[in-house]
Amino acid sequence: MSKRNRWLMGAAVVAALPLAVSQAWAQQAAPAATPQAALTAAEKESAKKIYFERCAGCHGVLRKGATGKNLEPHWTKKLPDGTTQEGGTTKLGASRLEKIIAYGTEGGMVNFDDILSKDEISLMARYIQEQPDVPPEFSMADMMGTWKVIVPVDQRPKKQMNKFNLKNMFSVTLRDTGEVALIDGDTKEIRSIVKTGYAVHISRLSKSGRYIYVIGRDGRLSLIDLWMEKPAVVAEVKVGFDARSVDTSKFKGFEDKYAIAGSYWPPQYVIMDGETLKPFKIVSTRGMTVDGEYHPEPRVASIVSSETKPEWVVNIKETGQILLVDYADIKNLKVTTIESAKFLHDGGWDASKRYFLVAANASNKIAAVDTKTGKLAALVDTKKIPHPGRGANFKHPEFGPVWATGHLGDAVVTLISTPSDKPADAKYKKNNWKVVQEVKHIGAGNLFVKTHPKSKHLWADAPQNPERELAESVAVWDMADLSKPKKVINVAKDSGLPATKAIRRAVHPEYSADGSEVWISLWGGKTDQSAIVVYDDKTLALKKVITDPKMITPTGKFNVYNTQHDIY
């Protein structure tokens, strides 16, 4: 059976799973399912580790769902015949769960049959039929116990001590080794490999461009000083057990003064000193959703720093609330709460840097916040499960300024008209906050779209697609005429690396500082050689394949200059 047919089997089954936490809670009084053999202590520990590494990001620590489906036992528990209908809802047994885990779904869940063994897939099907454990909290005392200043501020360089072109340095996540590789964009050489947290989710730059803040899935936040002769970590702190987001203060007068990091567990954010990471204040995000229901695990999704006001835009996944956190006086913190939609995920600025657009991916909407007025500007309906990364800004030949998002659950790239105060753009105002075009992609499973002000191209990946050919490829469009056929580039083939059982997923196109090159990660298995494949953006020709035995499972890449200035 082909992988596509196996995927369709899984997709048919997963349609029975719920989309919303509110629906899940309504079923909690369902009759008890047939008991199954309890997991041994060793099995449970193994399953917990796999769940944290592979599942918690989408399904939640408490398994209540967000980008992924609700996986609480009242949906997954096996009944006598393996499945039954209760109130119109199909409940799933182990055999069906195994198919979903193995073959993936149309909603953007990858197939795990080339990542996990058959025994591990069976174990996970049993594990998610048991009640989830509730992890402990993480207090200020806990946080302070992890805080380390490795190089005090007064002992750090007073000027750049290396000769690297820092503007074109790339901070590259080495997912499974818990490291970041700092790669010289000019020479393509690895300048430093820095030990950080596990599976770093993002790298963010200080306003000055000196410091890189990297945060791992295990909640470890590391501060890297690029001015050192060999860039290295100068401070670190653990902000929780599971985390994704970090940013710094960028408003005039507050440059590099503060940092903020958000956790998935416990659901909270912390404000710290920008140069030492000393924690100052922890704020819980538990509370009511936009539907008026209490949620015990509202995770902090994306965080961005406004330069319009001394504020951070903090997006709370499960509640659908967008917080504008005013850091002018952190002792007397002012927070504006903006209702949008569930479940908030990632997003980016429009070209003017006034509006922040974020995916509410369970609602199939993009929420736009006006940071000047402090209000919701729009809720825009899109195709299934928008997943923009930061998105992409460009001038459409017919519709003017637009911002683009791809989708996990649909094979299109959506273009949304965004406001502009330039007199020449007044004619496009009637289209603002409307979907003006849907460009056909190679398949569902997109994570990132990207362009650059000096480029004529729009790039999009599809790493979450279960088809090898699609997951290992990217699509490129000429923005001057999006009706032209897209160019499909098989990055895995271009790499010249030998074929492997595991899919080498082409992920996260990232531009060089000058917009002349596009870097794409080729993310293989832990034991497979991975690579970064570099293309000439003007000609789309292969330019360089960066490989190294130490470069294991590269995923996100963050060009220092582009990240510092929010260029995408």
Report how far apart, in Å, the C-alpha atoms of 461 and of each of 4, 123, 389, 411, 441 are.
18, 31, 11, 11, 9
Question: Which one is catalytic: 109, 124, 143, 169?
Answer: 109
Report how far apart, in Å, the C-alpha atoms of 175 and of each of 57, 200, 214, 247 are.
14, 6, 12, 20
For this structure, is 55 an active site residue? yes
Report how far apart, in Å, the C-alpha atoms of 230 and of each of 211, 233, 235, 268 are.
13, 10, 15, 34
DSSP state string for 340-351:
--S-EEEEEE-T
Distance CA 459, CA 469 (A): 17
Q: Is the pLDDT of residue 94 over 80?
A: no
For this structure, is 387 an active site residue? yes
- pLDDT, one tens digit per residue, over 374-397 is 999 999 999 999 999 999 999 999
Those residues with Cβ within 8 angstroms of residue 352's Cβ, 6 or more apart along the chain or in another chain: 418, 419, 420, 421
Average pLDDT of the chain to the nearest whole number: 90
Question: Which one is catalytic: 74, 201, 295, 345?
Answer: 345
Considering the domain 3-127, what is its CATH architecture?
A: Orthogonal Bundle (1.10)
Q: Take residue 172 and report the two structure tokens written for it.
A: 């590259």
Question: Which one is catalytic: 387, 396, 457, 508?
Answer: 387
- pLDDT, one tens digit per residue, over 259-299 is 999 999 999 999 999 999 999 999 999 999 999 999 999 99
Task: Report the pLDDT value the prediction gives residue 502, as an integer from 0 to 100.
Answer: 86
Residue 366 parent element (H or E)? strand 365-370
**Residue-range domain boundaries for the chain:** 3-127
Short-list 416, 492, 420, 421, CA closest to 449: 416
Within 13 Å and on the Cβ side, how many CA atoms surround 257? 14
Q: Is the pLDDT of residue 92 over 80?
A: no
Contact (Cβ atoms closer than 8 angstroms) between residue 238 and residue 143: yes
Task: Report the pLDDT value the prediction gives residue 559, as an integer from 0 to 100.
Answer: 98
Task: Tell me the Cα Rg of the chain.
Answer: 23
Q: What angle do CA 364, 316, 108 make, to 5 degrees?
A: 40
Question: Which one is catalytic: 1, 9, 55, 201?
Answer: 55
pTM: 0.86
Q: Take residue 118 and report the two structure tokens written for it.
A: 């058959």
Distance CA 415, CA 408 (A): 15
For this structure, is 144 an active site residue? no
- pLDDT, one tens digit per residue, over 438-454 is 999 999 999 999 999 99
Contact (Cβ atoms closer than 8 angstroms) between residue 333 and residue 322: no
- pLDDT, one tens digit per residue, over 28-80 is 333 344 456 789 999 999 988 888 888 988 888 899 888 788 898 888 875 44
Those residues with Cβ within 8 angstroms of residue 117's Cβ, 6 or more apart along the chain or in another chain: none
Residue-wise burial string across 524-547, b where 16 or more C-beta atoms lie within 10 A, e elsewhere: bbeebbbbbbbbebeeeebbebbb
Report how far apart, in Å, the C-alpha atoms of 345 and of each of 231, 341, 358, 516, 519 are.
31, 11, 7, 30, 24
For this structure, is 109 an active site residue? yes
